Chain A
Amino acid sequence: MRCFRYLLFLAGKSAWNRRGTLVLIVFSIALSTTLLLGMEKLKTQIRESFVQSVSGTDLVVGARGGDMQLMLYAIFHLGGATNNMGWDSARSIAERDEVAWTIPISLGDSHKGYPVVATSNDFFDHYRFRGGRQIELAQGRRPEELFDVTLGAETAKKLGYALGQKIILSHGNSGTHLTEHGDKPFAVTGLLAPTGTPVDRSLYISLEAMEAIHINWRGGAPVPGLRITPEQAARFNLEPKSITAMLVGLKKRSQVFALQRELNEWKAEPLTGVMPGVAMDQIWSMVDTGERALLLVSALVTVAGLAGLAAAILAGLGERRRELAILRSAGAKPLDILTLMACEGGLLVATGIIGGFSVLYLLVAAISPLLADNYGIFLYLSLPSAGEWALAGGICLAGLAASLIPAFRAYRMSLSDGLTVSL
């Protein structure tokens, strides 16, 4: 042990003495560490921010259909529902004893490519994301008047809208020639704080407003000649007849399976209930392959870095024969020489890894506001995860393995050289 510490000391001194050449190797190991760990971090945190786009919701309910499809349109507002669910069903689910809250959602309209979500004030009260965070207003108020609209952070920023702006919604959410609800303009009365979820890219109106703008519509088009002014529309019964989907929170999570079973056998109409976590994992597993390919590429870069390490130590061996012979003559065993070289490799790798970690954390600190603003990806400084530790450990072991190559070479050299190297 005492001897090992001395060898470590010697290895450190020797490496420091040749720092001019070794610094490049350490640099390349640091870079590959940053790349590998960065990939891992990005992967886990993107996954986290994706999976946590919605949290605290126990079931997502919609008309009978695929689980993933339901999640994609109800949470991410991607694609469309083939069928709606009846308002009656929604009401009776909301009134059940085990149900704590519900958030009804009606989709179908859009504004300049951003989906319009019709919902109730329950959305502001109960919607949770990323470990229980709540929807917050950055400016303005919740919708109060019929034709109030609240904008997600990204929608407002990209379109350059401020409070008081009048906007026109379009019917449908895809295609370029959409019919406009030009007769019933909305006023922007609230701007939401950024969330890093699909909420940022949406516009929120009330369910009643959704009814009101379609009141003179039949079968997906306005009825020719029938004009109903906004003032007139407000006097109609604006209770919706159907909605697209509903988020359900339960009083006790343990009741989720029973309710899900009941929903799937719903008498009044065919419904589907999905547990968000399960469906999110299913969706994520589809992008998994690409992310593994990236990780593989980073791993290969790391291998290249470590090969460079072995090569650099090997190249330096020739001029160090004398040094090794001196150590041998002073009592170092060939095994000590092996350990010395392995220590040197280990020190370089360890320095590289520490450097890599530092660069990574500086980078995360520097670019995470940019990522959050522009891509809704939330990277945050945290202690290395188990996965990151495992990768760092893997690099360390691989580095030690790589430095065993020059170490064995030095071992055999010092056996054959003995004490007398003639230079």
Chain B
Amino acid sequence: MMVQSACNVEANGAAGQESAAYAVVLEDVIFRWPGQQAPTLAIPFFSARQGEQVFISGPSGSGTSTWLGLIAGILSPDSGAVRVNGVRLNELGGAKRDIFRGDNIGFIFQQFNLIPYLSILENVLIPCRFSPLRNERACAQAETPLAEAKKLLERLDLSASLWRKPVNKLSVGQQQRVAAARALIGKPPLLIADEPTSSLDADRRKAFLQLLLGECRSLGASLLFVSHDQSLAEEFSTRTHLPDLNRAAEEVV
């Protein structure tokens, strides 16, 4: 399973040498929801370099979720190419896309990121259980995935005294940091954060963002950060307003 996906990375990387330097590339992507005439998304081009941290804004309903779905390989475009880490997702079958996603992408959602019946450490370790590649990378970072999970939690300001708590006893901010540790474990090359700060209060947002950015930087992971909150935008070198990219939106207007 792991060997296969590694091969894919190489094969695709060789095909488009220049795209290997990019974490995400979208080319001429058109996407329609089934049964709809007008495309929801029509993106001529978008790219994010490896290690780049991109702030994406867009009002709700502007297609940010659809856009993330395309990059995550949950949705397939009607035409065009979506490349993540040099691999063209639409060329992979459903099961391989699932494996690829597990190996290469970490996710943080708005809220309720944690599984209530697992401990904090078990929550962080989930990706290592499903992806042998991330398990291996976590072992390379620390002795064991468990050691790596503890290290990440500590770096995200969650001290060992909290680890025994049931996850639903944590504050929302703490929960989001556990989610961040889970997204980061096993060094996925790409992190997707879908409004991860919107359930935090204002002063917590900055702190959370700083921690996340710092960790992504030190692990060399690219970050796609979707948010309405323009006050956070200044922390990012690259900022993108999705409606500006999306030709489909223009046509509708």
Residues of B within 8 A of A423 (CB): 112
**B15 in contact (CB, < 8 A):** no
Residues of A within 8 A of B182 (CB): 330
Cross-chain contact B112 with A3 (CB below 8 angstroms): no
Stretch of A152-160, A303-311, A331-339 contacting B (4+ beta carbons < 8 Å): A331-339
Would A6 and B129 be within 8 Å (CB), given that A331-B134, A419-B74 are in contact?
yes
Binary contact track A182-224/B, C-beta < 8 Å → 1, others 0: 0000000000000000000000000000000000000000000
**A17 in contact (CB, < 8 A):** yes
Chain A residues proximal to chain B, CB less than 8 Å = 3, 6, 10, 13-14, 16-17, 322-323, 326-327, 329-336, 418-420, 423
Q: How far is the CA of A6 from the CA of B132 in the complex (A)?
A: 13
Residues of B within 8 A of A14 (CB): 117
Would A418 and B69 be within 8 Å (CB), given that A13-B117, A16-B117, A17-B117 are in contact?
yes
What's the least CB distance linking A157 to chain B, in Å? 58
**B170 in contact (CB, < 8 A):** no
What's the least CB distance linking B12 to chain A, in Å? 20
What's the least CB distance linking B166 to chain A, in Å? 10
Counting chain A CB atoms within 10 Å of each CB, which of B68, B102, B131 scores highest? B102
What's the least CB distance linking B117 to chain A, in Å? 4
Cross-chain contact A329 with B116 (CB below 8 angstroms): no
Q: How far is the CA of A404 from the CA of B113 in the complex (A)?
A: 27
Q: How far is the CA of A336 from the CA of B74 in the complex (A)?
A: 16
What's the least CB distance linking B76 to chain A, in Å? 11
Q: How far is the CA of A14 from the CA of B118 in the complex (A)?
A: 8
Cross-chain contact A331 with B126 (CB below 8 angstroms): yes
Q: How far is the CA of A333 from the CA of B98 in the complex (A)?
A: 6
Residue of A whose beta carbon sits closest to that of B65: A420
**B52 in contact (CB, < 8 A):** no
Residue of B whose beta carbon sits closest to that of A335: B95
**B107 in contact (CB, < 8 A):** yes
Chain B residues proximal to chain A, CB less than 8 Å = 65, 68-69, 72, 74-75, 94-95, 98-99, 101-103, 107, 109, 112-118, 126-127, 129-131, 134, 182, 194
Residue of A whose beta carbon sits closest to that of B135: A2
Residues of A within 8 A of B109 (CB): 329, 419-420
Residue of B whose beta carbon sits closest to that of A15: B117
Cross-chain contact A336 with B130 (CB below 8 angstroms): yes
Cross-chain contact A331 with B131 (CB below 8 angstroms): yes
What's the least CB distance linking A275 to chain B, in Å? 63
Residues of A within 8 A of B113 (CB): 326
Counting chain B CB atoms within 10 Å of each CB, which of A13, A17, A330 scores highest? A330
Cross-chain contact B74 with A418 (CB below 8 angstroms): yes
Q: Can you list 9 contacts pairing A with B, beta carbon distance less than 8 Å?
A: A3-B129, A6-B129, A10-B118, A323-B115, A330-B126, A330-B182, A418-B69, A418-B74, A420-B68
Q: How far is the CA of A417 from the CA of B42 in the complex (A)?
A: 22
Q: How far is the CA of A13 from the CA of B94 in the complex (A)?
A: 28
Would A3 and B130 be within 8 Å (CB), given that A17-B116, A333-B99 are in contact?
yes
Cross-chain contact B117 with A330 (CB below 8 angstroms): no
Residues of A within 8 A of B114 (CB): 326
Residues of A within 8 A of B103 (CB): 331
What's the least CB distance linking B115 to chain A, in Å? 6
Residues of A within 8 A of B129 (CB): 3, 6, 331
Q: How far is the CA of A14 from the CA of B116 in the complex (A)?
A: 9
Residues of A within 8 A of B134 (CB): 331
Residues of A within 8 A of B115 (CB): 323, 326-327
Q: How far is the CA of A423 from the CA of B182 in the complex (A)?
A: 21
Residues of B within 8 A of A326 (CB): 112-115, 126
Counting chain A CB atoms within 10 Å of each CB, which of B95, B98, B99 scores highest? B98
Residue of A whose beta carbon sits closest to that of B132: A2
Residues of B within 8 A of A331 (CB): 98-99, 101-103, 126-127, 129-131, 134
Residue of B whose beta carbon sits closest to that of A14: B117
Cross-chain contact A330 with B107 (CB below 8 angstroms): yes
What's the least CB distance linking B185 to chain A, in Å? 10
